[in-house]
Chains A and B, each alone.
Chain A
Amino acid sequence: MAHYLWLILAFPFAGAIVLLLAGPRLSRAVAAVIGAGSIGLSAVAAIAVALEFSTARPNPTFYHQVLWNWFDVAGFSPSIALHLDALSLVFVLVITFVGFLIHLYSTEFMADDEDFSRFFACMNLFVGAMLVLVLADNLLLLYLGWEGVGLCSNLLIGFWYKNPANGYAARKAFIVTRVGDTAMMIGLFMLFQQFGTLHIQQIAEQAAQVWPVGSPVALTVALLLLGGAVGKSAQLPLQTWLPDAMAGPSPVSALIHAATMVTAGVYLITRMHVVFELAPVAQATVAVIGALTLLIAGCSALTQNDLKRVLAYSTISQIGYMFLALGLGAWSAGIFHFMIHAFFKALLFLGAGVVIQALHHEHDMTRMGGLRHKMPVVFWTFLIGSASLAALPLVTAGFYSKDQILWLSFAGERGSLGLYAAALVGAFITSVYTFRMVFITFFGESKTPIVHYPGSRMTLPLVVLAVLSLVGGFIELPHNLAQFTLFSNFLRPVLPDVVVKPNYDELEWIMQLVAAAVSLSGIYVAYVFYLKSPALVQSLERSGPAMALHRFWHAGWGFDALYDALLVRPYVFLANLNRRDVIDRFYTLLTDLAQSLHGLLAQTQNGVLRNYLTGIALGAAAILTLSILL
């Protein structure tokens, strides 16, 4: 079955090509079948490969498939080759399966959109590019997928291109992530200069021999790769593009946040974990960036009124948890949280899409409310997703994945009290803003009439994802609850284990109780403030400092304004200064000269035969004279 590996990639790309070439001529039903079906087939192929991979004896650590040689220049010959190990398998399964559910949902969500086939072409391409990224066996091919993902995000965020604001958001996402990509590209150049290859396995084997631990080159490379990851995963300081990326349709947000784009950075760091382990300073930076980001984004999420922006800041914050885990060396905990996050965040975005569509494209939560009884399926699934996001103890998957990170940030070898405190405060903020969102949206009195009820193709993905958000956590239980570690056992051949500080094991119970208490108290605070006595919020809002803080957080800690003042304005000023480009003037002169000469020569084409003859005769006389004289 391993030689069918390429099929996983081929289906989404084939779907995208068919829809791009024949899209406008296809009926909506056919386009929907091709668009969602190609991802479905890809998911089936992925499951088949996964079954083969996990049941084969002796147990393989990876499958490798060379498709063809890309090019061969001066000894550098990257191949289009696929590498599937436990890590990429987890990503492939999440991308294809969650991607398929999102596609299925989109067939109904986008049913009335005029650019139906273009939407599915871009979505298929998005999934295909992400699959290239996670299956690539060398960093050049990975970079191809990396840029493909960036391109598709630009196409999809600006999907409703007739509104200039959407185009602006698309450009912002493209350019901000490109800042990170540039850093990553320099990192790749350095890796090639060091190893003479970009093959990931070869780099992993050679790195420990070439670099001592803490060598400055390893540190530089790791930091440059981190720059790329920070851009794609919307972490500090390049997080500003993600909230604006909400301009795209809701399924696009679900795909970007759950299965593609923002998880690319997590994948890159995990894939290059050898390099990061040789540069402890860079790894500590990853943890610190994660901790800071989860706090900053969490505070911003508290103040947003746009339903999708709350979720966007929530994603930034949850990816912060993943970065924190990666920085701690808790690789499998980070990937576990990625998987669970993909389930509940896709669920939340799709649920938000239903709500927004039902209320006639109303994004403002304060004008929603009272949807609990009118849309019970959406309410219950959204509640499950929110509970998972808030890490409601024992019953939700989010608890198991987040508890692991909390515990390791304290007890892990690289953990510290500061990181633990940040993660704990972040967990509290998460459950407050999550249930603030639930209470405002679904409880209270109804403020906007419902104009559209979701059909089965929209509710089915919600139910499936809700089930996964509940039971998905049981494949990896904390050590003190049961010795059941299916997920980390699966990843063990690829990713090293995290080392726990000695004599900390007895504390795990207390830590879990603390985490559970924090989560529950966050929900209670949200209940008090937003459901029981909303007057408290209003009195809080009337006080000056609170209002200023609210505005500051609402504006995303002023990062946009800072970048605007620091980078955008000076650049625009310089561009205005040089409006008529100095260097352009030379070339303008050149074209003007050529054009005037052309005008002169065109005068001689007057159609008078005798003039031509005179020209010929004079020319002949001149040539003869010259040949005689010289």
Chain B
Amino acid sequence: MESGLLLAGILFMLGLISVLIRRNIIFMLISVEIMLNAAGLAFIVAGSHWAQPDGQVMFIFILTMAAAEVSVGLALILQIYHRLKTLDSDAANLMRG
């Protein structure tokens, strides 16, 4: 139980740190996926601990949402590349206040 949650926490932090330090948008997207998977792992561990199916239900939700998120995200990345000819997220600051 504890080791499972610890693994989920470490994975989540790794994902968060890499979102924050990466500049390449594709890598940022992958890092978000890692964070989502870490959250899913935490749900599975909790579900198996209390012998409840809710954790698995939530994981399927997360899986579905991740698929939708990736498709939208990839479409956005394609657009950004098309417009800016780069995948550097710092370059996409045209809408600053």
Taking Cβ atoms with an 8 Å cutoff, the residues of A that contact B are 602, 605-610, 613-614, 617
Which residues on B sit within 8 Å (CB–CB) of A610? 20-21, 23, 89-90
Which residues on B sit within 8 Å (CB–CB) of A613? 19-20
Q: Check B20–A614 contact: CB distance below 8 A.
A: yes
Q: Check B16–A617 contact: CB distance below 8 A.
A: yes
Which residues on A sit within 8 Å (CB–CB) of B94? 607
Which residues on A sit within 8 Å (CB–CB) of B57? none
B89 closest partner in A (C-beta): A609
Q: Compute how far the CA of A617 lies from the CA of B32 in the bound complex, rounded to whole angstroms.
A: 13
Beyond the given pairs A607-B94, A609-B93, A613-B19, 5 more chain A to chain B contacts, judged by CB atoms under 8 angstroms and listed by A's residue number, are A607-B92, A608-B96, A610-B89, A610-B90, A617-B16
Q: Check B89–A607 contact: CB distance below 8 A.
A: no
Q: Is B1 an interface residue (CB 8 A)?
A: no
Q: Check B97–A602 contact: CB distance below 8 A.
A: yes
Task: Using known A-B contacts A610-B89, A610-B90, determine if residue A605 contacts B97 with beta carbons closer than 8 Å.
Answer: yes
Which residues on A sit within 8 Å (CB–CB) of B96? 605-608
Q: Is B51 an interface residue (CB 8 A)?
A: no
Please give the number of chain B residues whose Cβ is less than 8 angstroms from any Cβ of chain A in the complex: 14
Which residues on A sit within 8 Å (CB–CB) of B92? 607, 609
Which residues on A sit within 8 Å (CB–CB) of B68? none
Which residues on B sit within 8 Å (CB–CB) of A607? 92-97
B16 closest partner in A (C-beta): A617
Q: Compute how far the CA of A617 lies from the CA of B12 in the bound complex, rounded to whole angstroms.
A: 12
Shortest Cβ distance from B93 into chain A, in angstroms? 3
A604 closest partner in B (C-beta): B97
B97 closest partner in A (C-beta): A605
Residues of chain B in range 18-74 having any CB-CB distance to chain A below 8 Å: 19-21, 23, 28
**10 A-B pairs closest in CB distance:** A607-B93, A605-B97, A607-B96, A609-B89, A606-B96, A602-B97, A608-B93, A608-B90, A607-B95, A605-B96
Q: Compute how far the CA of A607 lies from the CA of B89 in the bound complex, rounded to whole angstroms.
A: 10
Q: Compute how far the CA of A610 lies from the CA of B19 in the bound complex, rounded to whole angstroms.
A: 8
Which residues on B sit within 8 Å (CB–CB) of A606? 93, 96-97
Q: Compute how far the CA of A614 lies from the CA of B19 in the bound complex, rounded to whole angstroms.
A: 9
Residues of chain B in range 66-94 having any CB-CB distance to chain A below 8 Å: 89-90, 92-94
11 contacts between A and B (CB under 8 A): A605-B96, A605-B97, A607-B92, A607-B94, A607-B95, A608-B93, A609-B28, A609-B89, A609-B93, A610-B21, A617-B16
Which residues on B sit within 8 Å (CB–CB) of A617? 16, 20
Q: Compute how far the CA of A529 lies from the CA of B95 in the bound complex, rounded to whole angstroms.
A: 87
Q: Compute how far the CA of A602 lies from the CA of B16 in the bound complex, rounded to whole angstroms.
A: 26
Q: Compute how far the CA of A607 lies from the CA of B20 in the bound complex, rounded to whole angstroms.
A: 15
Q: Compute how far the CA of A551 lies from the CA of B93 in the bound complex, rounded to whole angstroms.
A: 77
Q: Compute how far the CA of A212 lies from the CA of B20 in the bound complex, rounded to whole angstroms.
A: 90
Shortest Cβ distance from A339 into chain B, in angstroms? 71
Shortest Cβ distance from B11 into chain A, in angstroms? 16
Which residues on B sit within 8 Å (CB–CB) of A602? 97
Q: Compute how far the CA of A93 lies from the CA of B95 in the bound complex, rounded to whole angstroms.
A: 70
Shortest Cβ distance from B76 into chain A, in angstroms? 11
Q: Compute how far the CA of A614 lies from the CA of B17 in the bound complex, rounded to whole angstroms.
A: 10
Which residues on A sit within 8 Å (CB–CB) of B20? 610, 613-614, 617
Which residues on A sit within 8 Å (CB–CB) of B97? 602, 605-607
Q: Compute how far the CA of A614 lies from the CA of B96 in the bound complex, rounded to whole angstroms.
A: 16
Q: Compute how far the CA of A531 lies from the CA of B57 in the bound complex, rounded to whole angstroms.
A: 116
Which residues on A sit within 8 Å (CB–CB) of B16? 617
Q: Compute how far the CA of A510 lies from the CA of B23 in the bound complex, rounded to whole angstroms.
A: 114
Shortest Cβ distance from B90 into chain A, in angstroms? 5
Q: Compute how far the CA of A610 lies from the CA of B97 in the bound complex, rounded to whole angstroms.
A: 16
A618 closest partner in B (C-beta): B20
Shortest Cβ distance from B78 into chain A, in angstroms? 17
Q: Compute how far the CA of A609 lies from the CA of B28 in the bound complex, rounded to whole angstroms.
A: 11
Shortest Cβ distance from A586 into chain B, in angstroms? 29
Which residues on A sit within 8 Å (CB–CB) of B95? 607
Q: Compute how far the CA of A605 lies from the CA of B97 in the bound complex, rounded to whole angstroms.
A: 5
> Which of A605, A609, A614 is within 8 Å of B90, CB to CB?
A609
Which residues on B sit within 8 Å (CB–CB) of A608? 89-90, 93, 96
Q: Compute how far the CA of A609 lies from the CA of B19 in the bound complex, rounded to whole angstroms.
A: 10
Shortest Cβ distance from A599 into chain B, in angstroms? 11
Most chain A CB within a 10 A radius of its CB, from B20, B94, B95 = B20
B22 closest partner in A (C-beta): A610
Which residues on A sit within 8 Å (CB–CB) of B19? 613
Q: Compute how far the CA of A605 lies from the CA of B96 in the bound complex, rounded to whole angstroms.
A: 5
Shortest Cβ distance from B16 into chain A, in angstroms? 6
Q: Compute how far the CA of A613 lies from the CA of B97 in the bound complex, rounded to whole angstroms.
A: 17
Most chain A CB within a 10 A radius of its CB, from B23, B90, B94 = B90
Q: Compute how far the CA of A128 lies from the CA of B89 in the bound complex, rounded to whole angstroms.
A: 69
Q: Compute how far the CA of A609 lies from the CA of B29 in the bound complex, rounded to whole angstroms.
A: 13
Which residues on B sit within 8 Å (CB–CB) of A605? 96-97
Q: Compute how far the CA of A353 lies from the CA of B94 in the bound complex, rounded to whole angstroms.
A: 68
Which residues on B sit within 8 Å (CB–CB) of A609? 28, 89-90, 92-93
Q: Compute how far the CA of A12 lies from the CA of B96 in the bound complex, rounded to whole angstroms.
A: 57
Q: Compute how far the CA of A605 lies from the CA of B95 in the bound complex, rounded to whole angstroms.
A: 9
Shortest Cβ distance from B50 into chain A, in angstroms? 21
Most chain B CB within a 10 A radius of its CB, from A605, A606, A609, A614 = A609
Q: Compute how far the CA of A465 lies from the CA of B59 in the bound complex, rounded to whole angstroms.
A: 98
Shortest Cβ distance from B8 into chain A, in angstroms? 15
Shortest Cβ distance from A20 into chain B, in angstroms? 43
